[in-house]
Structure 1
Amino acid sequence: MVRAVLPESSAKEVSELIDALIPVLFESLPRRDQRNWARVYLNGLVRAKGKKTIRNIAGTGTGPVEQSLQQFISTSPWEWTPVRRSLARHLERSARRPLAWVLRPLVIEKAGDRSVGVGRQFVPQLGRTANCQQASGIWFASGEAAFPVEWTLTLPGPWTGEPVRRRRAGIPETARSLSPAEDAVLAVQRMAATWQLQRRPVVMEVANADLARSAESFALQDIPFVFEVDGSLPVSSGGAGRHKHGPHKHGPHITPARELVDSLRSQRRAVEWAPPGGAADAVTLLAAAPVLPVPCGDRPAPAPAVPLLLVGAWSGAAQPPSGFWITNIGDRPLAQLFLLAKLADRVSLDFAETCEPLGIRDFEGRSFRGWHHHATLASVAHAATLLTGRGRPPDGRTGPARRPGTAAAPPRPLIPGQSRTGGTKVP
């Protein structure tokens, strides 16, 4: 992966913002020297070339500087949750107010077996088994920018079940071995319950087997959600499904989401929208139907069952449906629900263009605490970089930075994630 390095003038602006953010975000760190090492590490993430290891971040100041940074990241007992919460509150107060909380999986492939949480495991995002860490980021996302504010690191069974391994990695006694989806859902619930934030819709991809449980978990806390699902998801509908099962002729239809959505072609409406990254405006066709999720395997359905809405999308009138989402938000136009769902694309873009070059995958230490410290500081560096407008053209679209001395392009009338129309019915 090619690492983009900010020009010195840009890095200076980011460093100035980091200086301003230190007292706001790191107020919970009790000692001045801790806040100073946070500043050193953040500037290193922004300025260091190549992989953002502690040695590279220390730069020419190896020796005592490297040792102090190593201690600050890997063993210092400062709590990361208050810093992340302060970052989230700061972003919520700023002009970058989020429209949704987007959950994005993070897979970090490793060569060895010493990094905390590493193991050989099947990874749906890769479509294969890999020796890796699996994590999830919770991002504040709007049409203009996305910011990671919370992270989970999934711990396979051996990391919580083997006392020696657990002790060496400094894994808390309260940590449990859960699936990445379960870890992410619990993190959202904690944020909603304790971070004192305005509750936003949660956007995430959910496997068929996890849908009912995830929907119930969020419904219990009145958390709105938009779940991207697979077209094979079985759903129960009293409406226009083509196939019905069971002895009750007039009972609910159980059919794959893809087939139910395809039966709604006559109800489609067109929405014109602007994909992130400066791509040409797109037209998507949408339709929706009320459904109930069907239990998968031996997992029971939520009790009482939660009425949901299945949203389907087509990229062309003659093509099969290409996107499927389940939501508990029933009071918004389809265009708004679709634009919420597509905020996942904004997160993917800002991850690739900002978060990854800043080193979110690069931590080489072996401690649970160190991984979370590094992820926290990478999140702050990401926020500082985007809040200065580095790499953002004046119209809010992401793309190549304007060359010095050239005129700014006039703002476009359509910003990313904003619909021009409430929808036009398409036959």
Structure 2
Amino acid sequence: MLDIREKVTAGRPDLDTVSRVCAALLASLPRADQRRKGELYVRGLLTAPGRKTMRNLAGIADEPAAAQSMHHFISCSTWDWAAVRAALAGHLDRMLSPRAWVVRSMLVPKTGRHSIGVERRYVPALGETVNSQQSYGLWLASEAAAAPVNWQLSIGKGWLQENGARANVPEDEDGTTGDGAAVQAVLKAAAWGIGPRPVVMDARHSALPPLIEAFTTAGLPFLLRINGGCTLLAAGSGPRGSRVAAAPAEHLLGLARAQRRPVEWIDPASPGARRTSLVAPLQVYWPGLPGSRPPGQSAPAPPATARAAALGLPLTLLGKWQTYERGVQQVWLTNMTDAGYGPLLRLSKLTRRVETDFSYVSLDVGIQDFEGRSYQGWHRHVTLASVAHALRMLGDGAG
């Protein structure tokens, strides 16, 4: 597979490939004219220059009033975007052989307040309050490529009360923000029947309890990047092993420095570039959740001791150091306690794969370009932009 920058530059999938893939992924649309407009919209996302406005997308169609027709198809029609996303996920699960489900936040700064879900929200990564729209995408990711398959908007209850009726927000949408939106993006995709993969997410600015509880309850393996100040429990080496330490993750990893080992990995952001990091694991516990069988373990787990059960959910804390740095650079937390630290480190690097493909593919096919108040319009646009992303990523081998 080409370097993604070469793929974007090299060209776009041919029309036969676009038609064949769209026919399969849009088969759930009930009417032939809807399926035709869906393919036309995807073709526009792939080929229209600049921002993917309705006017620009309509420019590829030799039809009068094409812009109005496309607007109606996206914002006012009745087709179900969830069925298209499920078909896309199944297709990519076969084509990509993904190693992980990566959750990525998408923040879109806005100048006004008329677009769907736009509010002033504090953004920890920026350290400031930004007038913006926020959503979470679920990506299927392998070392070679990544593509989004599901999306969840972060919408506050206040925005819903003020704008919900005008935005045609469904009555069962009662406000899902931040981490709750991330969880919903994962759980909805898990119900589609695609092969479960570890959920990988940068959760440094997230509330960890709802994430860990939701993924544990759903029986999903997870690998979360956490803040070094997060407090965890670790069994110490006191008399009869009875000592328990509650300390920040960064401090606990200091106890594991002597166990560091070099691990080589290929950088998704620089194809072919091999890097080496120092990695060390440490067993820790998450208080408040009982010990449970690790995801994917077929045989029953050995009986936990009363002490271990009292400590909570057994997890592995993984630290990553650069060879030239003394302090730990990244801190990860996982319930895959039997996994080797080399595979865990390489799983964590799939977030770089997603960032690279978002920058070079998703933005190019207009994932952030929807303008409007329509809840349904936003969901349909990002769904078809995800189809366009998959087509661009896989090229003429899209299936």
> Which one of 349, 363, 388 corresponds to residue 381 of structure 1?
388
Residue number in structure 2 paired with 1:186:
184
Deviation, structure 1 residue 23: 1.8
Unpaired runs of at least 5, structure 2: 292-311
Give the Cα–Cα distance (whole angstroms) in 2 for the partners of residues 366 and 322 of structure 1.
Answer: 41
User: What amino acid sits opposite 1:29 in the alignment?
Assistant: L
Aligned with 1:167: secondary structure?
A: coil
Q: TM-score by structure 1 length?
A: 0.82
Q: Which letter does structure 2 place at the counterpart of 1:199?
A: P
Aligned to 1:287: 280
What is the aligned partner in structure 1 of residue 246 from structure 2? 254
Q: Which amino acid aligns with 1:289?
A: L
Q: One-letter code of the match for 1:365? A: G
**Distance in 1 between residues matched to 2:258 and 2:33, nearest whole Å:** 65
Alpha carbons 2:18, 2:391 under 8 Å: kept: yes
**2:66 equivalent in structure 1:** 65
Residue identity opposite 1:144 in structure 2: A
Which residue number in structure 2 is paired with residue 311 of structure 1? Answer: 318
Asked whether the equivalents of residues 249 and 331 of structure 2 are also in contact (C-alpha less than 8 Å), the reply is yes
Residue 268 of structure 2 is matched in structure 1 by 276
Aligned match of 2:27? 27
In structure 1, the residue matched to 2:56 is 56
Partner in structure 2 of residue 298 of structure 1: none
Q: 1:240 deviation in Å?
A: 6.9
Q: For residues 27-46 of structure 1, what are the structure 2 equivalents within 5 Å? A: 27-46=27-46
Check whether the contact 2:122–2:129 (CA below 8 A) recurs between aligned residues. Answer: yes
User: How much does 1:254 deviate?
Assistant: 1.1
Superposition deviation, residue 189 in structure 1: 1.7
Q: 1:4 to 1:130 in 2, by over 3 A?
A: farther
Partner Cα separation in structure 1 for residue 345 and residue 247 of structure 2: 22
Cα distance between partner residues in 1 of 2:7 and 2:93: 28
Unaligned runs of 5+ in 1: 242-248, 295-300, 391-427
For the Cα contact (< 8 Å) 1:213–1:302, is it kept in 2? no
Preserved CA contact (<8 Å) 1:48 1:56: yes
Which of 209, 214, 219 matches 1:222?
Answer: 219
**Quick check: 2:179–2:210 contact (8 Å CA) kept in 1?**
no
Whether 1:167 aligns to 2:165 is yes
Deviation of 1:217 after TM superposition, in Å, equals 1.1
Counting aligned pairs with the same residue, the percent is 38
Q: How many residues align?
A: 369
Superposed CA deviations along residues 242-268 of structure 1, whole A, max 9, x for unmatched, are xxxxxxx95310111111112211101
Measured after TM superposition, the shift of residue 186 of structure 1 is: 2.1
Question: In 2 relative to 1, CA 311–275 (structure 1 residues): closer, same or farther, beyond 3 Å?
Answer: same
CA gap of 1:4–1:209, structure 2 versus 1, over 3 A, is: closer
SS in 2 for 1:321: coil
Tell whether the 8 Å contact from 1:45 to 1:359 is kept in structure 2 after alignment: yes
Q: Secondary structure at the match of 1:67?
A: helix
Alignment of 1:211 with 2:208, yes or no, is: yes
Question: Which letter maps to 1:278?
Answer: S
Deviation digits for residues 389-408 of structure 1 (CA, Å, limit 9, x no counterpart): 79xxxxxxxxxxxxxxxxxx
Contact kept, 8 Å, 2:285 with 2:315, in 1: the verdict is yes
- Once the 2 structures are TM-superposed, how far is the Cα of residue 45 of structure 1 from its aligned partner? 0.6
- Out of 275, 289, 313, which is 1:302 matched to? 289
Instruction: Name the residue aligned to 1:138.
Output: 138
Alpha-carbon separation, structure 2, partners of 1:389 and 1:356:
20
What is the aligned partner in structure 2 of residue 18 from structure 1?
Answer: 18
Say which structure, 1 or 2, has more relative contact order (CA 8 Å, 6+ apart): 2
In 2: Cα distance, 1:38 partner to 1:209 partner: 36
Specify the code of the residue in structure 1 equivalent to 2:180.
E
Call closer, same or farther: CA 1:26–1:6 in 2, change over 3 Å: same
Aligned with 2:247: secondary structure? strand
Q: Give the distance between the partners of 1:35 and 1:274, measured in 2 at CA.
A: 40
